[in-house]
Amino acid sequence: MRNRTNQIVRGIVALVCLLLTAATAAPAEAPLTADQLVEMAIAVNPQVKSARYRWQSAEHSIKQTVAPNDPIFTYTNSDSVKSPVGRAALREFNFSENFQFPGKAFYQRDQAVRTAQIARLALAATIRDLRAAVLTGYYQLLLDSALAAVNLENNASLDQVLKVTQIAYSASQVTQTDVISAEYDLTAGRQLEKQYETSIANDQTTLDQLLFRPPGEHLNIDRTLRLEALTAPLDPLIDRAYAARQEILEAALSERNFNTALSLAKMEYLPDFTLGVQYDQYLIPAFAPTPTQPNDWVGIIGFNLPIFFWIKQNEDVARARTDLAASRTDLASLRSQTAATVTTLYRSAQFAYYNASVYRDSLTPLAAQDFRVALIAYQSGKIDFVTLSGALQRSYAARINYLQAANQFLAGEVALEQAIGAPLAK
């Protein structure tokens, strides 16, 4: 009796512990949305980190452009009889500094600032492309998951058709061909399940790679397929692309850098200077300027003479002019290409949304209704198996076409955002 009581008590204690553990357990993590996946990828992706380091490196190069050159100190042991380091008749201490013509350093600093800005824009372009890749992979995973679900539903309908044909065959209402055809269709549909499982696994691995995660450590993501119409007009999107696309901004900064390079090339006609001071110490008084003055000071000034300007400075200026003209042409070409790309992607996305809407709101419900009516008609002997199979195939194709059109719209929207250089306003 006592043993039974102890068992009951231990059982109650175990049940209470189990309930407490369940009550204090951490709640299940909410599925991750597309925006959350993008934020995670930006935080850990190595390509983004590399682009950020390159930008920081360019930032640290700005101050160097206005820093003066290191001065040069020279010690001369002159007229030594025994060795170069032995006792000499004259010792010279020279201190010199090279200076650019005033104004050159400010132009060089401007170029370094713009180079850092271009590196920052390259970082923004890397983040933009990563965002597009994550969203594309995410939507592909949604598509393959939805296709797998539709295939399972279609297999259930095929199984229903197989049972109907078997009943009709057992009643001698149809031939065995109907049963064999229905069984073939069901087997083919089940074979697709493995294909979709492989596609889903590959999609998850692609997302894992973009998130810098080992293959197989899949995240719990939201697999709800949402479609929102693209309501923004085309012309404002093109204007926004002109103002936001990183490649256009980089080309504009490069044009300004080439314009500055032209000014620097023209300044090559101006001389650079060398200033120095020298202290002479005469150890033999007879060598000194006067017997009572064994030490003296020497001032030094020098500058370069561009006497070969026709083969150096002239060519530098000509090259700078052609580089500037090329950069302006590149900028104009890039703006034209951007406008054309945004226009075609916008039209394609609009058509894909229209196509998906037609399948979702009209064709898919009609095809589903057609299959239900055809199934009843087949059971009553009013139609043959070919007609029933065609109705089921239309229902399946309508749902597949809707998913593909929806994926084309989402992928087109991502490509449009990538071409503009910034997300679309929701």
Confidence category of residue 220, pLDDT binned at 50, 70, 90 = confident
Residue 69 in contact with residue 97, Cβ under 8 Å? Answer: yes
CB atoms within 10 A of CB 109: 16
Looking only at Cα atoms, what is the longest distance across the chain? Answer: 140
pLDDT value of position 153: 93
pLDDT value of position 14: 45
- 374 pLDDT above the threshold of 80: yes
Residue 78 in contact with residue 91, Cβ under 8 Å? Answer: yes
More confident residue, 286 or 131: 131
Mean pLDDT of the chain: 87
Q: How far is CA 297 from CA 73, 79, 89, 300, 397, in A?
A: 15, 19, 16, 10, 97
How many Å apart are CA 129 and CA 426, to the nearest integer?
A: 20
Tell me the mean pLDDT in the region 293-312. 86
Confidence category of residue 85, pLDDT binned at 50, 70, 90 = low
pLDDT value of position 24: 41
Domain 27-67+100-271+306-420 listed as CATH 3.40.50.880: no
Q: Which of 157, 323, 165, 314 is nearest to 254 (CA)?
A: 323
pLDDT value of position 26: 38
Percent of the chain with pLDDT over 90: 60
Percent of the chain with pLDDT over 70: 91
pLDDT value of position 426: 64
Domain borders along the chain are: 27-67+100-271+306-420
Global confidence as pTM: 0.82
Residue 258 in contact with residue 70, Cβ under 8 Å? Answer: no
Q: What Rg do the C-alpha atoms of the chain give, in angstroms?
A: 40
Q: Which amino acid is at 187?
A: T
- 365 pLDDT above the threshold of 90: yes
Highest mean pLDDT among 15-29, 83-97, 243-257, 261-275: 243-257
Confidence category of residue 28, pLDDT binned at 50, 70, 90 = low
Tell me the mean pLDDT in the region 307-314. 83
Tell me the mean pLDDT in the region 122-150. 94
Residue 45 in contact with residue 209, Cβ under 8 Å? Answer: no
HSE, side-chain direction, 13 A CA sphere, residue 148 = 16
